[in-house]
Every structure is written in C-alpha cells, then in structure tokens.
Amino acid sequence: MGELQRLEKLYEGKAKRVYKTNIEKQFIVEYKDDATAFNGEKKGTISNKGLINNEMSAHLFKILADAGIENHFIELLNEREMLVKSVEIIPIEVMIRNVVAGSLAKRLGLDEGTELSKTVIEFAYKSDELGDPMINDYHIDALNLATKEQLDTIKSLSIKINEVLEKYFLEKDLRLIDYKLEFGLFENRVILADEISPDTCRLWDVNTNEKLDKDRFRRDLGNVEESYIEVLRRLKA
Ligand code: 5GP
C-alpha cells in the first residue's frame, strides 16, 4: 500500500479541510484555527484551536469507540491532522440538548441553564447559505436527506452517545449542556463523523457554571484559548 500521502482537497469548511489520500476509503481531516459564529458573520481565529480540537476529538472518538460506538476516527497523524474513514456526510446537523441554552433559550423564552426533564434532539439542514435552518423528521423524509431507517439509527446512536459523553464529561467536572453531531455513511452503515470539541459543544464547569466553550468567542467573554486548553487538560487528566 506504501506510505500515506495527502492528495487533493475534497472539501473546505469553516473549521476543517478534508483531503483525499492514496489509501482507499481513508481521508485526512485538517483542523484550522479559524473561528466563525452567527452563520459566518463574526470571524476570527482562536490560537491553537486546530491543535486542541484535533486532539480533543481524537480523545472523545476513542472513548466512544471503546463504548462500542463506531465513528470515523482511525488515528492521529500529527498536531493538526487525523486519518478518518471516508464517510459521505449526511447533510443533517443533529443537536442534542440536556440543558436549555443558546437558540433554544431564545426560541422558547426560557432561562439558560434550565434543566430539561428529558434529552431533546433537534435537526438542522446543513447549509451555510441558508444558515442551517431547523427541520423535522418529515422534511428529512420528504427531501430524501436520510431514509427512515437511517434516521432511526441517527436517533438511537445520538441517545447512546449522549449517555456516554454526559457521564464522561461529568467525571471531568464538566456539564455537557448541548452539542452538535454529524453522521455519515460508510460501507452502507450510519456512523458518527465530524468533530466533538468546544466548537461544537457547550461545556460548563460543574461547580461555577463558567462557560468553557465557543460561547466565549461568540459572546466576547475573553479567555477563549485558555478555556479550550482547560477542557483538554481535564479530559486528559
Ligand atoms: P444552538 O442551536 O443553541 O445555537 O446550538 C446548540 C449546540 O449545537 C451548541 O453546542 C452549538 O455549539 C452546536 N452547534 C449548532 N450549530 C452549529 C454549527 O453550525 N457549528 C458548530 N460548530 N456548532 C453548532
């Protein structure tokens, strides 16, 4: 098979680039320091974010694999790159909420931090141009974004992932408030893909409720890089 080679860029998003490789069914994901919020209206960079999110995602993907949840992670290649399975991303963002925050707080007029009696799963259509509009099961079915079986799998995997991650973060003194997942198809199976990092999760300190995630960038709270580093430090401790 020979040495791994990074070939042409297949995709560039706001936070990552995806490259083809010389190996069948394997891609390289490169994590960037670029940060955007509010559908790209707010732009910036968070120093070392790419390194932190690459390492943190790898760490969490391993935890999930150990818990029997297949995901696209294969191995870390270097500080900014990981080798992944060549999934075809399903164009649905899956939001998982344990505590009210962000857009849900606004939409329903609830205080951030209000506990939800059950986990809430929401879907958005993955489209930068449209600002990831919210959709439901009927849109997903009517627009053929996923089959009914695939959507059922996405829901059951999301609940399993949430059980593992919520417990794991709590052991690290972090409350997993809400987060976004993306799934993809690999050899006809639905598997977890994308990233899991403070860019995609709301994480609050269990004692002080201090925000240790991208809301520090979105809301100009300062200490953005420091908070990302603190989350990584706790996960690795
Ligand atoms: P909200 O709907 O409150 O804006 O977001 C809910 C959760 O999903 C938050 O943890 C947020 O970080 C994550 N999330 C939702 N949409 C996106 C997105 O387009 N990009 C990223 N990085 N995270 C998202």
Q: HSE on the CB side for 214, CA within 13 Å?
A: 26
Select from 43, 92, 96, 180 the residue to mutate for testing ligand 1; criterion: most ligand atoms less than 8 Å from CB.
180
- From ligand 1's centre to the CA of 126, what distance in Å? 11
- Banded model confidence at residue 94, pLDDT cuts 50, 70, 90: very high
CATH number of 88-227: 3.30.470.20
59 three-class SS: helix
Does residue 121 register a pLDDT over 70?
Answer: yes
Express each pLDDT in 39-75 by its tens digit. Answer: 999 999 999 999 999 999 999 999 999 999 999 999 9
Q: What is the pLDDT of residue 237?
A: 95
> What torsion do the CA atoms of 125, 130, 132, 138 make, to the nearest 10 degrees?
-30
Q: What is the pLDDT of residue 174?
A: 98
**What's the rounded Cα separation, in Å, for the pair 156 and 70?**
13
The amino acid occupying position 57 is S
**What's the rounded Cα separation, in Å, for the pair 231 and 169?**
9
Q: What is the pLDDT of residue 143?
A: 98
| 214 within ligand 1 shell (Cβ under 6 A) | yes
Structural domain boundaries in the chain: 6-85, 88-227
Q: What is the pLDDT of residue 151?
A: 98
- From ligand 1's centre to the CA of 201, what distance in Å? 7
Same fold, 6-85 and 88-227: no
Nearest CA to ligand 1 atom 19: 132
Average pLDDT over residues 124-145: 97
Question: Which CA distances in Å does 114 have to 34, 104, 166, 177?
Answer: 31, 11, 16, 10
Question: Which CA distances in Å does 12 have to 19, 159, 195?
Answer: 9, 29, 14
| 102 within ligand 1 shell (Cβ under 6 A) | yes
**What's the rounded Cα separation, in Å, for the pair 63 and 41?**
34
Does residue 2 register a pLDDT over 80?
Answer: no
Residue 175 bridge partners (DSSP): 204
- Please give the number of the atom of ligand 1 that sits closest to the Cα of 178: 10
Query: Which pair of tokens denotes residue 137?
Result: 């099961």
**What's the rounded Cα separation, in Å, for the pair 70 and 173?**
26
Express each pLDDT in 169-217 by its tens digit. Answer: 999 999 999 999 999 999 999 999 999 999 999 999 999 999 999 999 9
- From ligand 1's centre to the CA of 26, what distance in Å? 27
Q: The domain 6-85 belongs to what CATH superfamily? A: Phosphorylase Kinase; domain 1 (3.30.200.20)
| 204 within ligand 1 shell (Cβ under 6 A) | no
| 85 within ligand 1 shell (Cβ under 6 A) | no
Predicted TM-score (pTM) of the model is: 0.97
- Banded model confidence at residue 1, pLDDT cuts 50, 70, 90: low
